[in-house]
Structure 1
């Protein structure tokens, strides 16, 4: 047998040996354990009660409305902060407002109150009535939620519990006042007009942490 044939046979035998070893069983004891792992995301769910906060007709300059409502955390995750976005539309009765914006004549006042459920009464009284922030609807509509948060000391409208936000299953009592401002001038162009206000509240999660 030539050297070339001997080398070929040797390589074939080696390959067959490797195949046999690969297809066989281990000759020593062994044991296995399987780890089954699960990663489930939590839920961030913000709700309002009531959903319609202001529904008032037959207004005149100088009128104002104070309303209480709740932001409820019905999700499984704690809420760190809530941001507000404002938009509105105007239906002109006489279509003769010129360049005047009805939204510039409504002032929104955000009122600091007692917040969480550890306060028995839940709402502000005359001794604790504090306007923490105010803008016209026109001004608010031009601001992003982040703009508003930046202007506020703790980044959360009305909120006096910066450290704990709104925990899962808890809620905040909120109070807002909207005034149809009497500017002491002729406001007859707004007679019969309707302003539709939309507030969008956006909840933000707590920062991530080691789990």
Structure 2
């Protein structure tokens, strides 16, 4: 290494050292402020009351049963839409069924208990089980709930009429002693998010 290079390296080192020393001697005013922020998610809570809508024994063709129940929004977020999922199991007592018992249980969704002749939507349990939940919402819940949905701390009464149809050509004797266990699942969904 030549003398010029050694001299240049020495000068560079000296300048760097002075810069570090000089930089450490300046003081500036400073201040800080903290904020405490919280994001708390709301709750979506859809409840049905009573939880057992229907329980009947000794059913025969031609019987009709009207039941009412209440959907409640017990959460902290408005429910925009409600859909219904249907599932049932037939317990064939004799093992001789050639038809689906659900084809012969007709379901009528009614406006309210005072106007039992005003049917919102009519179908069978088997058709209801095969329907998309959105289609069911459109036919059953939208006419009643409309654009308002189910706001927080509000409830909505629903009336359902079940009919064991008798005006059919099929042999209904195959259903003697049978049982049908029905499970309805109501699903509430929130509206789209918004700027708060």
Aligned 1:127-146 pairs, distance under 5 A: 129-146=117-134
CA distance in 2, matches of 1:37, 1:203: 29
How far is 1:58 from its partner?
0.2
Aligned 1:184-203 pairs, distance under 5 A: 184-185=168-169, 186-203=171-188
Q: Equivalent residue for 1:103?
A: 102
Q: Equivalent residue for 1:50?
A: 50
Compared CA separation, residues 74 and 6, structure 1 to 2 (3 A): farther
Instruction: Give the structure-1-normalised TM-score.
Output: 0.82
Compared CA separation, residues 180 and 32, structure 1 to 2 (3 A): same
Q: Equivalent residue for 2:114?
A: 125
Gaps spanning 5+ residues in structure 1: where?
A: 114-123
Q: 2:156 aligns with which of 169, 172, 197?
A: 172
How far is 1:82 from its partner?
0.6
Q: Does 1:207 align with 2:192?
A: yes
Compared CA separation, residues 28 and 111, structure 1 to 2 (3 A): same
CA distance in 2, matches of 1:175, 1:55: 15
CA distance in 2, matches of 1:187, 1:205: 43
- Does the CA-based 8 Å contact 2:120-2:143 persist in structure 1? no
Q: Equivalent residue for 2:5?
A: 4
How far is 1:172 from its partner?
0.9
- Does the CA-based 8 Å contact 1:107-1:136 persist in structure 2? yes
How far is 1:60 from its partner?
0.4
Q: Which structure has more helix as a fraction of its residues?
A: 2
CA distance in 2, matches of 1:110, 1:40: 38
Q: Equivalent residue for 1:77?
A: 77
Q: Does 1:147 align with 2:116?
A: no
How far is 1:129 from its partner?
4.1
Q: 2:167 aligns with which of 183, 188, 192?
A: 183
Aligned 1:7-26 pairs, distance under 5 A: 7-16=8-17, 19-20=20-21, 24=24
Q: Please, what is the CA RMSD of the aligned residues?
A: 2.3
Secondary structure of the residue aligned to 2:90 is strand
How far is 1:173 from its partner?
1.1
CA distance in 2, matches of 1:86, 1:19: 76
- Does the CA-based 8 Å contact 1:92-1:190 persist in structure 2? yes
How far is 1:192 from its partner?
0.5
Instruction: Give the structure-2-normalised TM-score.
Output: 0.88
